[in-house]
Amino acid sequence: MTTRNFQSQVNRRPALPKKRSFNELSRGTQAAVVVFGILELTLMIAALRDLSKRPGALVRGPKPLWAVISCLNILGSISYFTVGRRKQVSRRFRAKKTTHPRQYESGLFAMSVAC
């Protein structure tokens, strides 16, 4: 084998398939692309809206970083909803306030019950 033949074999690249435009895709593929795009955009807007309204104490990490991550692609938005948010304690599951024993003695408890 000569060096010329060897170089021509090394420089050969496999032919890549031709890129197709959106109109050349089948109707089913076009519909899937549109649905996926709408889903990605909806998740991104929901993540950014939630991030803007949520207090910083309920977000794991810096809020600007999560804003950038959720704008990257659909995985960024999903990761924000699964990892980036801290769960808020529901009012239903918070500890109930108990009355202090001295309130019974002073009559404040009796007055509040009678009213």
DSSP characters for 25-42?
S-HHHHHHHHHHHHHHHH
- Which residues make beta-bridge pairs with 59? 85
85-114 confidence digits (pLDDT tens): 887 765 554 555 555 555 555 555 555 555
Copy the structure tokens of residue 20: 């197709």
State residue 102's pLDDT score.
54
Residue 17 — very low, low, confident or very high, per pLDDT cuts 50/70/90? confident
Residue 44 has pLDDT above 80, yes or no: yes
Can you give the pTM of this predicted structure? 0.59
